[in-house]
């Protein structure tokens, strides 16, 4: 293992740059060459790659997004695309890969290894926190803090106008962002994809708040919530409960941006170092993660097929605290 390739793929997450920095500098520390691959699997197919030095990753630990850029690649799903990518890796003498991304990235890396002899270690970078094999993914802490700060600001205006706000946060398949930002923001109710939404129960919660003279209420809704997202839930509630002036706020992609928190920077640094050292130790097709504060390795197939379960006790806590 003399030359290591590194790339970012899928949705960007705050802390990706911190992880990239750790990968590059750890490889150099071990006297290995590092090749940065731009635009994920797309750049791998196009041969868009160049050597990275320690200076290449200076002053990026605090930046959101990814300096290597990212893209979703349909071409990589084809045998021709994978063959071209492998040829480009061989041209640059790349012996192993560090993949910074989430579920889709690791699925692609797993399929790639099934066809070509290239070792890959994954670093979990996704704001959704939905990968099995790590307590937290890089970007999650920043995303929930961004969402919570937005909820705090919405609370100010909701309280001033006696309004009911439905705040939609990211989470197409998982409610982790909604759950923690909702608890942190003191939401009256939290709706997530993992549980069935009971509109009648939601209305009951809001009615209790109204009878206690609450001047505002906030319902946090994950975008993948099965009742249809914030707008649909708000419409259904308003049909039966119109005491409040109702508004909807979609936080959207602001949750992906911004400077990563200290927690995300430290996590990214730990996992970036661990990924390179795992490659040098001969590990392949695994994701590095932190479980109970220790570095652990989880096969790609298990990390992607066994998504982390939501903590149902946190939903119970959220309901208790809303009374």
- N-to-C CA span, the chain: 58
Tens digits of residue pLDDT in 47-62: 999 999 999 999 999 9
Q: Which CATH number fits domain 141-256: 3.90.650.10, 3.40.50.460, 1.10.287.3510, 3.30.565.40?
A: 3.40.50.460
More confident residue, 96 or 306: 96
Separation CA 278–CA 272 (nearest Å): 10
Is residue 322 over pLDDT 90?
no
User: Cα separation of 313 and 190, whole Å?
Assistant: 13
Q: Which of 52, 48, 120, 121 is nearest to 91 (CA)?
A: 48
pLDDT, average across residues 134-163: 93
Cα distance between residue 252 and residue 10, in whole Å: 16
Q: What is the mean pLDDT of residues 221-233?
A: 87
Set 12, 128, 141, 264: catalytic member: 128
In angstroms, the CA 125 to CA 104 distance is 11
Do the two domains 3-139+260-305 and 141-256 of this chain adopt the same fold? yes
Label residue 172 by pLDDT band (50, 70, 90). Answer: confident
Would you state the pLDDT for residue 264? 98
Question: Worst-scoring range by mean pLDDT, 171-175, 223-227, 233-237?
Answer: 223-227
Where do the structural domains in the chain lie, given as residue ranges? 3-139+260-305, 141-256
**Average per-residue pLDDT for the chain:** 93
Cβ neighbours of residue 29 closer than 8 Å, sequence gap 6 or more: none
User: Measured between alpha carbons, how far is 290 from 182 in angstroms, rounded to an integer?
Assistant: 24
* Nearest C-alpha neighbor of 182 from the set 170, 173, 172: 170
Active site residue 12: no
pLDDT of residue 323 exceeding 80:
no
- List the one residue out of 119, 51, 120, 111 whose CA is nearest residue 83: 111
Q: Residues in the chain, how many?
A: 323
E strand spans, the chain? 3-8, 33-37, 49-51, 96-101, 119-124, 163-169, 189-191, 217-222, 245-250, 286-291, 294-299
Strand order in the sheet with 96-101: 49-51, 33-37, 3-8, 96-101, 119-124, 286-291, 294-299
pLDDT at 288: 98
Please state the rounded mean pLDDT for residues 88-109.
95
Task: Give the CATH number of domain 3-139+260-305.
Answer: 3.40.50.450
pLDDT at position 209 is 83
DSSP H or E stretch at residue 317: helix 312-321
Q: Look up residue 2 and give its DSSP letter.
A: -
């Amino acid at each position: 293992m003399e030359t290591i390739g590194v790339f970012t793929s899928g949705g960007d997450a705050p802390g990706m740059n911190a992880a990239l920095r750790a990968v590059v500098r750890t490889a150099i520390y071990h006297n290995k060459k590092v090749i940065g691959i731009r635009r994920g699997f797309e750049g791998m197919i196009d041969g868009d790659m160049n050597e990275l030095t320690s200076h290449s990753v200076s002053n990026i630990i605090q930046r959101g997004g990814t300096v290597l850029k990212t893209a979703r690649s349909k071409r990589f799903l084809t045998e021709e695309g994978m063959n071209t990518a492998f040829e480009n890796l061989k041209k640059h003498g790349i012996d192993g890969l560090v993949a910074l991304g989430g579920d889709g990235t690791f699925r692609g890396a797993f399929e790639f290894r099934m066809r070509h002899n290239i070792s890959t270690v994954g670093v979990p970078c996704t704001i959704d926190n939905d990968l099995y094999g790590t307590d937290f993914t890089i970007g999650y802490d920043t995303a929930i803090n961004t969402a919570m700060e937005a909820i705090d600001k919405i609370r100010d205006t909701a309280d001033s106008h006696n309004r009911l706000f439905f705040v939609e946060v990211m989470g197409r398949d998982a409610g982790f962002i909604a759950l923690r930002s909702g608890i942190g923001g003191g939401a009256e109710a939290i709706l997530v994809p993992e549980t069935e939404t009971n509109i009648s129960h939601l209305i009951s919660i809001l009615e209790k708040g109204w009878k206690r003279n609450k001047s505002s209420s906030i319902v946090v809704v994950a975008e993948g919530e099965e009742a249809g997202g914030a707008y649909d839930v708000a419409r259904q509630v308003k049909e039966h409960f119109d005491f409040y002036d109702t508004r909807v706020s979609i936080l959207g992609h602001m949750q992906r941006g911004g400077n990563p928190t200290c927690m995300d920077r430290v996590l990214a640094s730990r996992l970036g170092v661990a990924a390179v050292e795992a490659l040098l130790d001969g590990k392949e097709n695994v994701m590095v993660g932190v479980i109970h504060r220790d570095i652990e390795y989880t096969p790609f197939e298990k990390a992607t097929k066994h998504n982390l379960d939501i903590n149902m006790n946190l939903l119970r806590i959220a309901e208790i605290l809303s009374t």
